[in-house]
Amino acid sequence: MERITSLQNPKIKNIVKLAKNKERHEQNLFIIEGARELSLALSAGYIIESAYVCPELFTKTDYPDVLNSIDENKIIEVPQAVFDKVAYREGSDGLLTLARPKAHDLNNLKLSDNPFIIVLEAVEKPGNLGAILRTADAAQIDAVIICDPTTDLYNPNAIRSSVGCSFTVQTAICTSHEALGFLKEKNIKSYAAELQASQWYQDTDFTQPSAIVMGTEADGLTATWLNNADARIKIPMRGKIDSLNVSVSTAVLTFEAMRQRGF
C-alpha cells in the first residue's frame, strides 16, 4: 500500500484541482468522499481509480468493509493533515476516492409502466441538486432529468448533499428540447411549477405517467417549459415570502404524487 505524507505530492495537488468542473471533465474523474457514498457507488457499478484513506479517521466509519472491494494497489494511506487538505466536509470518516463518471443519456433510462419523473431546468446550486436526488431516492421515483445544467452532477458538494443518492437514482442530462420530446414520446404528462399558475398542486392528477418540471429559484422556468408543458401548477404560499427553496418545492410535489399513488 502506497503512503503519501506531503501536501506537495502531485496526487494530492490533483485532487484539489478536481474541485473544478473543467478538471473533472478533462480528466474524466470525480471525487467521492465517504465510505457510505463509496458503497453506493460500487453497488451502482462505478469504476474506482484510487482510494485515499486516513487511518485515524477511518476507524470511526460505519462501513469498515467497503475497502475490501477496492484493489489494494489502488489504496493510498495519508495522515490526517494531508486528508484535511482534500476533504470537503466536516466529520469525514477518512475515505476519499476518485472514480470514473458514467454517461447519462435519456435513452438509457429504464422506466416503469407508470413513471414519475423530476425534471430540473438549469439547476445551478449543487446543494439543491443533491437534496433533490435525495428526495428522488426516498420516494423511489423513476428518474431525474437534468436539463441545460449550470452545475455538475459530479460536483463534490452535490454528491455530499445527496448522501450518495447521486449513485442510486437514474439520471439523464440533456437539453430542455430533448427532454420535452422524450416526455411526449413516452406519453408522460409534464407539470411546470410556476408561482403564477392557476392550478393547485394538490388538485393535479399524478396517478398517471407524470413529470414535474422545476426551474431556478431566481428566475423560475423559461418559456420553453411554460409554453410547452401540459399544465402549470403551484404550491400555496401563505406567508410573507413568495417561494420555497427549489429542493423543498420538489419534495412537496413529489410526495404528493406518491401519496396519490398510495406509496
Phi, psi (degrees; rounded to nearest 5) at 172: -130, 145
**Which band of pLDDT confidence, cut at 50, 70 and 90, is reported for residue 243?**
confident
Cross-strand partners of 26:
none
Question: What is the C-alpha separation between 232 and 218, in angstroms, rounded?
Answer: 18
Claim to verify: residue 197 and residue 252 sit in the same structural domain: yes
Claim to verify: residue 91 and residue 154 sit in the same structural domain: no
Nearest to 46 by CA among 153, 118, 148, 124: 153
Question: What is the C-alpha separation between 166 and 163, in angstroms, rounded?
Answer: 8
Claim to verify: residue 117 and residue 243 sit in the same structural domain: yes
**Which band of pLDDT confidence, cut at 50, 70 and 90, is reported for residue 218?**
confident
- What is the 3-class SS of 21-45, one letter each residue? HHHHHHHCCEEEECHHHHHHHHHCC
Q: Which residue has the cell 453497488?
A: 43
From 99, 121, 150, the end of a domain falls on 99
Transcribe 39-94 into DSSP letters. Answer: HHHHHTTPPEEEEEE-HHHHTT-S-GGGGGGS-GGGEEE--HHHHHHH--STT--S
Q: Number of structural domains, the chain?
A: 2
Q: What is the pLDDT of residues 125-142, one digit of tens each?
A: 999 999 999 999 999 999
Transcribe 96-125 into DSSP letters. Answer: EEEE------GGG----SS-EEEEEES---
Cβ(61)–Cβ(117) under 8 Å?
A: no
Q: Which three cell numbers stand for residue 174?
A: 440533456
Cβ(164)–Cβ(41) under 8 Å?
A: yes
**Which band of pLDDT confidence, cut at 50, 70 and 90, is reported for residue 1?**
confident
**Which band of pLDDT confidence, cut at 50, 70 and 90, is reported for residue 241?**
confident
Q: Which three cell numbers stand for residue 72?
A: 489494494
Q: What is the pLDDT of residues 14-59, one digit of tens each?
A: 999 999 999 999 999 999 999 999 999 999 999 999 999 999 999 9
Claim to verify: residue 242 and residue 115 sit in the same structural domain: yes
**Which band of pLDDT confidence, cut at 50, 70 and 90, is reported for residue 217?**
confident
Q: Residue 161 maps to which CATH number?
A: 3.40.1280.10
Claim to verify: residue 190 and residue 248 sit in the same structural domain: yes
**Which band of pLDDT confidence, cut at 50, 70 and 90, is reported for residue 219?**
confident
Question: What is the C-alpha separation between 237 and 193, in angstroms, rounded?
Answer: 13
- Stretch 200-228: mean pLDDT, rounded? 95
Structural domain span for residue 95: 2-99
Q: What is the pLDDT of residues 84-127, one digit of tens each?
A: 999 988 889 999 999 999 999 999 999 999 999 999 999 999 99
Claim to verify: residue 113 and residue 26 sit in the same structural domain: no
Claim to verify: residue 28 and residue 81 sit in the same structural domain: yes
Predicted pLDDT of residue 122 = 95
From 99, 134, 150, the end of a domain falls on 99
Question: What is the C-alpha separation between 63 and 37, in angstroms, rounded?
Answer: 10
Q: Which residues contact 205 (CB under 8 A, 6 or more apart)?
A: 260
Q: What is the pLDDT of residues 150-202, one digit of tens each?
A: 999 999 999 999 999 999 999 999 999 999 999 999 999 999 999 899 999 99
From 66, 81, 99, the end of a domain falls on 99
